[in-house]
């Protein structure tokens, strides 16, 4: 069976080309899309993103991308990967603007500010160690400890359990990645994480067959 072609959604808030280049390195076919109609025709979907949660949701609501993504995630159940802001958008709501998210998973997005010891600066930026949840079968090919590149001021409040596949610590422990059935999100940028990012996308490719 031919692996699925990945659609990378571009709403103008991220460098989608860097994600596409990272996929190309591990021989994953991809295309860049911008409309809800293209989302509805997609076999697999990546939501990259940096920037403001409220602005992103406003763009997606106005263009009905929100409805198309929700349908793809929970009705058609295609593989969906959210990266950085994209991970957060999959959640129910965010303290950034106090607006609703896509609601694809039951989790909220909280701000670091006010929850970290004083010595920890916000945003959390740079390389950080990530613990891989080996209880999740999808993680079996990844090293137990990885390093990924982060840039974020908010984090997903999800219990560190079976659905949490990556855990990071920055003053507090937080979920750096989740996998809930066909829906996956990572707070880090695998496309900027060199060898560890490549290992991640190699494992991701297994979800496309």
Residues forming the active site: 84, 189, 191
Residues 6+ apart with CB under 8 A from 76: none
Among all chains, which residue has been given the structure tokens 């999959």?
90
> What is the sign, positive or negative, of the torsion defined by CA atoms of 42, 48, 52, 53?
positive
20-40 in b/e form (b: 16+ CB < 10 A) is bebbeeeebebeebeebebbe
Structure tokens at 155: 């984090």
Strand partners, 151: 125
């Amino acid at each position: 069976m031919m692996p699925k072609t990945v659609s990378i959604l571009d709403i103008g808030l991220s460098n989608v080309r860097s994600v596409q280049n990272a996929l190309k390195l591990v021989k994953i076919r991809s295309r860049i899309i911008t409309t809800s109609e293209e989302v509805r025709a997609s076999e697999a979907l990546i939501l990259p993103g940096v920037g403001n949660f409220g602005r992103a949701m406003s763009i997606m609501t106005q263009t009905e991308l929100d409805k198309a993504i929700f349908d793809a995630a929970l009705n058609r159940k295609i593989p969906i990967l959210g990266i950085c802001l994209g991970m957060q958008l999959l959640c129910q709501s965010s303290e950034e603007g106090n607006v609703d998210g896509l609601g694809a998973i039951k989790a909220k997005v909280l701000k670091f500010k006010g929850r970290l010891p004083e010595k920890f600066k916000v945003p959390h930026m740079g390389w950080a160690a990530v613990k891989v949840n080996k209880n999740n079968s999808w993680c079996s090919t990844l090293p137990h400890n990885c390093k990924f590149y982060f840039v974020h001021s908010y984090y997903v409040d999800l219990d560190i359990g079976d659905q949490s596949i990556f855990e990071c610590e920055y003053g507090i422990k937080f979920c750096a990645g989740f996998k809930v059935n066909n829906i996956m999100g990572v707070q880090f940028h695998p496309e900027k994480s060199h060898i560890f990012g490549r290992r991640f996308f190699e494992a991701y490719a297994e979800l496309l067959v």
